[in-house]
Structure 1
C-alpha cells in the first residue's frame, strides 16, 4: 500500500511542479527562444487548454483500459513531453510539447484518483488523500523557488528534465506494487461531443490569443471566433440531447452547482493571472532575476497553505456561501493591490497584494469543488468532476488570453497593459463574489 501511495503522490509532484514553476521560467524561455507575447501566451495556455478539453475524456479512457495502465501511459507521456519541452528549439515545438504534457496530465489525474479510491477504504482513504494533497501543497511552496534557481543558475531546461526521473520512479513503484487494474466494460465515448468541445474551445482561444498579432477585424480572427462560437453553441445543444454526453450540462439546473462552477471558472481566471503573470511581472516589468522572482511569490504561497488548512476545518460551520464570497473578495483585493504595485513600479506593493490573493485562492479551491460536487448524486460525481475541472481550466486559458491581449494592445506600454490586465482579473473575481453570495447555500443551523 505504501508503494501505491508513493506512486500516486509522485503524480502530484509532477503536476504541481509544472504549474508552479512555469510562470517563473517563462521569461527565460522567451529570451532563449525569442518568443513573442502571443508565443508566451500559447506556452502557458496550450497545456491548460489540452488539460481542460481532454480531462473528461481521460477519465473515460482510464475506466476502459484500467487505471494502472492509464497511470503508466500518462506518467510516461508526461515525462516524454517534459523532455521534449526541455530540448525544443522552436516556438511551435515548445507549444506542441506543452500541449502533449496537458494531454498526459488529463489521463494521469483521473487514473491516480481512481487508484487511490480503489486501493484504500474509509479512514485509510481519507489519510491517503490527505497525504496526496499535502504533498501537492509542499511542492507548491518550493516550486517557484526551484524554477527560479534553475532558470538563473543551471538553465530553465532542468526545471522540466527533473520530471523524467520522477515519472520513471512513479512507473516503477506502481508496477511493483501491482494494484488492481479494474476495467469498466462497455464504457461509452461521446465522440461528437468531445470533437465539438475541442474544436470550439481551441478556435475561440486561438482568436483571443492571436488577436494582438492578427488584429480585431482581420479575417483569421473573425473566422476562428466564428468557428469557436458556433462550435461551442452546437456543443451545448448536443450535450442537452445526448443520453451520455462528454460533459453533463444538465447539472447546471442546480443553483448551487452553477454557483460553485462559476466561482471555480473565475478562480481559474484570477489564479492563473496571479500565479503566472505575477511571476512574469516580477521579472519582466519589475526587473527581478528568476531566483528572486521565484522567492518573491512566497507571500502568496504561504498564506495559501494556511488558508487551505483553516478552511478545511471551518467549511461546515461557515458554509459555502460565506467562504465563496469572502475568498473571492480576498482574491479581488489582492489582484487590485498587485495592479497598483505594477502601476507604481513597486515590488513591495506587489508582494503585499500577493498575500490576500493567496488567502483567496486557498479559501476557494477545495471548498468550491466540494460545494459543486456535493449537490449531485453519487453516480454523477465523475461527470460533475469533469465539468468543474474543465470550467476552472478554461477560466485559466481565458485569463492568459486577456492578459496577453492587454499587454500587447493597451496604449502606454507593458506597465499599463499589465495593470489593466490585473484590474480586469479583479473584476472577474469580484463578480464571482456576487455569484457566491446569491447562488451558494448558507450553512445549516442545527
Structure 2
C-alpha cells in the first residue's frame, strides 16, 4: 500500500538551508564532519581505561565505582541508541547530530570539573546519552550524502576511523594522564567538539524521514530498567553474595522488565524495537555475536591497565605505548577486513577473526607477572586483526538482513548490542576477578610464610587487590620485607584473577566464532541501504 506524502500527514518539513554554499552536502566533507563527532565518542570509550587508576587515587573510587564510570557510559549509549535514531526522524538527523556534539562536549567539561566520583558517574551517564545521539544520525547522514555505488567505501573508511580512534585511546590517555591530569582526558573533547560543531554546521545537509514518528516512551523506560537491574545485580553480587536476596531481587526485576518490554513491543503502535526484526535468524545471531564480541573485548581490556600500571609498574604513557601494536594493527586490519568481506562475504572473515581473537585472549591468559613488551605485542596485534572483521562485517550481517524499512532500527540495534556487551563484560569479568582473588589470596599469604588473614579481612582486601593494589597503608608501619611479601601475594592473586578473566574471554570468543559460521550476507540491493533510523 502506498504511503501518503509527509505534508498530508502534517509532518514538519525539513528546514530550508542556504543553497549553493561551498561544501554544503559534499559527500567527503560530510564524512569528515560525522567522523569528527563519532571519533570523539569512540576515543572517549577507550581513553578512560588508562585514566582509571588515577581517578581511583584522586577521588578514592572503588573498583565497583570505576566499573560504573565505564559501564554507566556504555549502558547509556546502548539503551538510547534506537531512541536516538527515532529522534532523528522527528527533528532531522543533522539537528540531532549537532545536539549530540554540543552535549557531549559540555558533559566532558562537567566530568573534568567533578570533585566526587558520584558526580563523575552521573555526568558519564549523561555523556553516554549525548553520545548515543551521534551514531545513528551519523550513519543516516552518510547514507543521504553518498550515492549507492560509493556508500560501502564511505562506511568502510568511517568504520576504520572508528576502529583506529578506539585503539588510539590508550596512547592518547597515557600522554594526557602522565603529562597533564586525568581531567584532561575529558577536557580534550571540548576543542574537538567545537571543531566538529563548526564543520557540521557548515557542511552537513539536513535529512529526516518523510513520516512523523512517535517515541516509544514506555519501551525506553522498560528497556532501561531491565538493563540497569541486570548490570547492577552483576556488579553488586560479589559484595552481597550471588544467593543474597538483594542480588536475586535485581535479577528477578531484570527478567520481569524484559518480559514486559517484549509484551509491550508486541502491541505498541510504533515499538522501540520491532520484534519482526528477529524473524531473520542471521540478524538474531549477528546481534548475539556483537554482544559476545564486546563482552570479550571490553571486559578483558578493563583489567589490562591495572596490570600494566599497578602490577607491572608502568606509567600511563608507557601503558599506552605498550598497547600501540593494537593501534597500528587497526590501521592495516580495518581496510583489509572490508576487502575480504567484499570478496568472501562475512561468514569466513568473521569466524576466522573470532578464532584469532580467541588466540589473543588465550595468550593474554598466560601472561606472567614480569611480562615484557614482546609477550604483550603479539596478542595485541592479533586482537587488531581478529576484531576488525567483526566490526566491519556487523552492518553486512545485521543491517543487511533487516527489512529495508527497518534498516535504520537495525543499525541502532547493532550499536546497542555492542554497548550492552561491553557493559556486561566489564561487570561479569569484574565479578569473576573479585571472586577468584578472594579464593586464592589466603593461599598466597601462607605460601609466602605470612599468616593467613581472617575471612573479614580477606573480604576487605578483595577490592584493592582486584585493581592490582597491595592492601597496605602507611599507618600499618610494616617492616619493608613484610610489605614486599604482602605486595607479592596481592599481585600473584591479581594475576590469578586476570588469567581466569582472559580464559573466560577466550571461551566467549570461540563461541562467537562458531556463531559466525551460521550467519549469511545481507541483501545487495540498493533498497537495503535506505535510511529509516
Partner of 2:510 in structure 1? Answer: 430
The Cα of 1:163 is off from its aligned counterpart by 0.5
1:226 aligned to which of 243, 252, 257: 252
1:409 aligned to which of 435, 444, 463: 435
TM-score, length-normalised on structure 2?
0.78
Query: Over residues 280-318 of structure 1, what are the superposed CA-to-partner deviations in whole Å (9 max), with x where a residue is unaligned?
Result: 332233222100100111222222332222121111433
CA distance in 2, matches of 1:343, 1:443: 45
* Equivalent pair of 1:340/1:350 in contact (CA under 8 Å): no
Q: How does 1:3-402 map to 2 (within 5 A)?
A: 4-123=30-149, 125=151, 128-177=154-203, 179-180=205-206, 182=208, 184-342=210-368, 345=371, 348-402=374-428
The Cα of 1:374 is off from its aligned counterpart by 1.5
Give the superposed CA RMSD: 2.3
The Cα of 1:377 is off from its aligned counterpart by 2.2
* Equivalent pair of 2:282/2:398 in contact (CA under 8 Å): yes
Query: Over residues 207-264 of structure 1, what are the superposed CA-to-partner deviations in whole Å (9 max), with x where a residue is unaligned?
Result: 1112222322333322222111211122223334445321123322222212222211
More helix by share: 1
CA distance in 1, matches of 2:204, 2:293: 37
CA distance in 2, matches of 1:57, 1:47: 16
Larger CA deviation: 245-254 vs 195-204: 245-254
Aligned length: 443
| Distance change in 2, residues 1:130/1:328 (3 Å) | closer
Instruction: Report SS of the residue matched to 1:340.
Output: coil
CA distance in 2, matches of 1:351, 1:282: 13
* Equivalent pair of 2:156/2:392 in contact (CA under 8 Å): no
Structure 2 unaligned spans of 5+: 1-22, 441-492, 524-533
CA distance in 2, matches of 1:318, 1:309: 14
Larger CA deviation: 400-409 vs 124-133: 124-133
Query: Over residues 164-193 of structure 1, what are the superposed CA-to-partner deviations in whole Å (9 max), with x where a residue is unaligned?
Result: 111122222222346235465420222222
1:418 aligned to which of 487, 490, 498: 498
TM-score, length-normalised on structure 1?
0.92
The Cα of 1:375 is off from its aligned counterpart by 1.5
Partner of 2:520 in structure 1? Answer: 441
Query: Over residues 137-179 of structure 1, what are the superposed CA-to-partner deviations in whole Å (9 max), with x where a residue is unaligned?
Result: 4434533211101111111111110101111222222223462
Larger CA deviation: 291-300 vs 363-372: 363-372
Instruction: Report SS of the residue matched to 2:366.
Output: helix
